[in-house]
């Protein structure tokens, strides 16, 4: 298996005088997670990745002034398309990097990308994001993973994740035949034209500051539910005091829709809507235009079965429509029996699937 068989040829190349904002716009429009930087005054090429841009912004640099040449990675090792994937993986391991630029003659023809995410819940991890894979034949991804996985395992990264387009059944099947299983679903649907009508026994309204104690309680209800069968999520559950403090700090943030469901004048559920750009888990190919995000919804255990979750989901559609969003996005754990049934019934269709594999068992 050669590198040319597994690489993507959908490569964005930019010059060193592009600003970071210009580069990020080009990367967004092409739905790629990195750009190859070619400077005619210097030999070789560099790579500008999403992480490079985030590091620059985190350091307080101005994206309208900072140039792509500055934060780019220039210690790049080049591979020939005729290398075997085993050669490519071995080179990446020895050099301690995850970006491999493939050059044929003087032309940049492809690259392979991988990254780890911070957070104890993910374990020692390696991620293939939505824009991190491109193959002409689905079977090729199995050879690519064999090469990349060798590097990850040698770095003691035993939790592997990949985002796969849900409509590409051949690619999903190829990952399944690598031992990956379905963990999480990203869903999308159109925002309905007509306003919703909640059931008579429920009232849906905007949250008020006096609701913060129960909003904090609901913040704990979702991770507590996902820690039970059959999800058994390892996500951390905050303390009630931490949840209250977080709500006190963020309640007045603009651009967010906080909704609650009442039964007999008692708040029993809540949902949060925002622009999809506010979500840290949706980027690149998973970031459609003009999309609102159902970022959170929970119902108190004793009130489940009343239809409050569905009513809150429909009310979030109303908030999105009123704020100019034409499509709605949310995501759910595939093993969460409540959300995995409620959100598809509201019209959400799978767009991307998060697959995972934990090694050593």
pLDDT in tens, the chain (361 residues): 544 554 444 456 677 778 888 888 887 776 677 777 766 555 555 777 777 788 888 888 888 888 876 654 444 444 545 555 555 555 555 555 555 555 555 544 444 466 788 888 899 998 887 777 766 677 777 777 877 788 888 889 999 999 999 999 998 999 999 999 999 999 999 999 999 999 999 999 999 999 999 999 999 999 999 999 999 998 888 899 999 999 999 999 999 999 999 999 999 999 999 999 998 887 766 778 899 999 999 999 999 999 999 999 999 999 999 999 999 999 999 999 999 999 999 999 999 999 999 998 7
Q: Kindly state the helix (H) or strand (E) to which residue 312 belongs, with its residue range.
A: helix 308-322
Domains of the chain plus CATH, in order, are 3-145 (3.10.580.10), 190-332 (3.40.630.30)
Q: Are 142 and 172 in contact (CB under 8 A)?
A: no
What Cα–Cα distance (Å) separates residue 219 from each residue in 253, 259, 296, 320, 338? 17, 13, 9, 22, 16
Task: Give the separation between CA 276 and CA 28, rounded to whole angstroms.
Answer: 14
Task: Give the separation between CA 205 and CA 175, rounded to whole angstroms.
Answer: 43
Task: Give the separation between CA 61 and CA 190, rounded to whole angstroms.
Answer: 37
- pTM to 2 decimals? 0.74
């Amino acid at each position: 298996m050669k590198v040319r068989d597994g690489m993507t040829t959908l490569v964005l190349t930019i010059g060193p005088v592009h600003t970071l904002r210009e580069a990020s716009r080009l990367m967004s429009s092409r739905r790629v997670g990195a750009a190859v930087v070619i400077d005619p005054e210097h030999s070789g090429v560099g790579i500008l990745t999403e992480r490079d841009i985030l590091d620059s912004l985190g350091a307080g640099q101005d994206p309208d002034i900072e140039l792509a040449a500055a934060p780019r990675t220039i210690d790049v090792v080049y591979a020939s398309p005729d290398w075997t994937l085993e050669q490519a993986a071995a080179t990446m391991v020895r050099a301690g990097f995850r970006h491999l630029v493939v050059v044929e003659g003087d032309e940049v023809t492809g690259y392979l990308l991988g990254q780890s995410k911070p957070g104890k819940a993910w374990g020692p991890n390696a991620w293939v994001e939505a824009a991190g894979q491109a193959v002409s034949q689905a079977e090729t991804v199995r050879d690519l993973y064999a090469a990349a996985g060798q590097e990850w395992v040698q770095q003691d990264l035993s939790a592997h994740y990949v985002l796969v387009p849900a409509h590409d059944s051949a690619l999903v099947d190829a990952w399944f035949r690598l031992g990956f299983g379905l963990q999480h679903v990203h869903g999308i649907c159109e925002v309905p034209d007509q306003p919703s009508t909640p059931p008579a026994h429920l009232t849906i309204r905007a949250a008020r500051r006096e609701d913060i104690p129960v909003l904090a309680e609901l913040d704990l209800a979702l991770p507590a539910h996902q820690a039970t069968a059959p999800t058994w999520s390892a996500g951390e559950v905050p303390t009630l005091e931490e949840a209250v403090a977080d709500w006190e700090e963020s309640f007045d943030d603009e651009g967010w829709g906080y909704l609650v469901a009442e039964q007999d004048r008692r708040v029993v559920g809540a949902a949060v809507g925002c622009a999809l750009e506010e979500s840290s888990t949706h980027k690149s190919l998973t970031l459609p235009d003009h999309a609102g995000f159902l970022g959170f919804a929970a119902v108190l255990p004793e009130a489940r079965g009343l239809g409050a979750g569905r009513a809150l989901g429909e009310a979030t559609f109303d908030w999105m429509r009123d704020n100019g969003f034409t499509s709605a996005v949310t995501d759910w754990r595939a093993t969460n029996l409540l959300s995995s049934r409620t959100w598809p019934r509201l019209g959400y269709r799978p767009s991307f699937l998060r697959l995972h594999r934990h090694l050593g068992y």
